[in-house]
Structure 1
Amino acid sequence: MRAFDVLLALHRLDMRQGKDYLEAPEKNDLELNVIEGKLKRNHWYWCDFHKQPMLGEPSVILTLGGGDIQYLYEVEK
C-alpha cells in the first residue's frame, strides 16, 4: 500500500482535490478567495484551519467567504 493511500484512508475528511474547492462556490454560492499560492484542479491537498509548521509552508491559503482561513498543503499522489 502506498503512503498516499494510507494518508487518504486515515484522514479522508482532511484530504481534497483542488476541483472540490473550485466547484464549491458554484454549487453553494460561496466566495472563493485565494490569498496566497495557486489552486490546481487535479492536485490533492491536506486541509487544515491552523497553520502546521511541521509541514512547512502551505501551498495555498484561502477563504470560502466565511472569513475562516484554510491552509492547504499539496500532497504528491
Structure 2
Amino acid sequence: MPFKIIASQCTSCSACEPLCPNVAISEKAGSFVIEPAKCNECTGYFEEPQCLAACPVDGTCVIDTSWPCYQAQA
C-alpha cells in the first residue's frame, strides 16, 4: 500500500526524503517521487507515514491506488 507524491503539488522542499526509513523517496525532474516497491507506509518504523507527516502541503502525499494491491480481484 504505497504512497505517491503528486508532482504538481510538490514544492521540492525535501522534508520527506531523509525521513523515509525505506529510502523510497528520491528527487526526479524537480520534484520528489516515491518508489512504490519500496514504500510500506512506514509500517514497523512509525505510527504514521513520515512523508505524510513531513509534507507542508496537504494532499500531496497520498495512497497510490494504481498499485496492484488496490485493484479489484477477478
Same topology, TM > 0.5: no
Taking CA–CA contacts closer than 8 Å with sequence separation of 6 or more, which of the two structures ends up with the larger relative contact order?
2
More helix by share: 1
- TM-score if structure 2 supplies the norm length? 0.30
More strand by share: 1
